[in-house]
Amino acid sequence: MKLFDVYPVYDIDLRRAEGAWVWDAQGQKYLDMYGGHAVISIGHTHPHYVKTVTEQLHDIGFYSNSVVNSRQQELAEKLGKLSGKPDYRLFLCNSVLHEKIKKRLHPLGWQWVVHLAKIRH
């Protein structure tokens, strides 16, 4: 089976990343200036990121929004405080669902549906 040809691919086989640097299969080091899919703004393999993700994966990697998730509530409260909009509501989903959600919520009086377009996960 071949990989699906979504967009042009650079002929660089990356094997390792740290901070702002990536290395290919031959050990060639590159400054990572790619600003694309699933960008980690704190750098590759940042110790805080690795520690936090590892801790989360030891607990639970993923589950549906159909059950209580206290970490999502904590995130919503932090985002409300940081944005100055504590009375707003947050729904976490991927961009595939955005149009369906927007069509359902606008008739209910929701004025804003914010999403990050073209996000990959």
On whether both 75 and 106 belong to a single domain, the answer is yes
On whether both 44 and 83 belong to a single domain, the answer is no
The last residue of one of the domains, among 13, 30, 61, is 61
On whether both 17 and 56 belong to a single domain, the answer is yes
pLDDT at 27 over 90: yes
Average pLDDT of span 8-17: 88
On whether both 88 and 115 belong to a single domain, the answer is yes
Residue-range definition of the domain harbouring residue 99 = 63-121
Inter-CA distances, 111 with 5, 77, 105, 114, Å: 38, 20, 8, 10
On whether both 9 and 55 belong to a single domain, the answer is yes
pLDDT at 4 over 90: no
Reported for 59-65, long-range contacts at CB under 8 A and 24+ positions apart, including other chains, are 65/91, 65/92, 65/93
The phi-psi region of residue 63 (left if phi > 0; otherwise alpha if psi is between -120 and 50; otherwise beta) is beta
The DSSP string of 48-117 is: HHHHHHHHHHHH-S---TTS--HHHHHHHHHHHHHHT-TTS------GGGHHHHHHHHGGGT-------T
Of the listed ranges 36-45, 68-77, 102-111, the least confidently predicted one is 102-111
Q: With pLDDT > 70 as the criterion, what percentage of the chain qualifies?
A: 69
β-pair partners for 16 = 23
pLDDT at 25: 95
The last residue of one of the domains, among 29, 61, 93, is 61
Summarised one tens digit per residue, pLDDT across range 54-101 is 998 888 777 776 777 788 889 889 988 998 988 888 777 665 555 666
Average pLDDT of span 7-19: 87
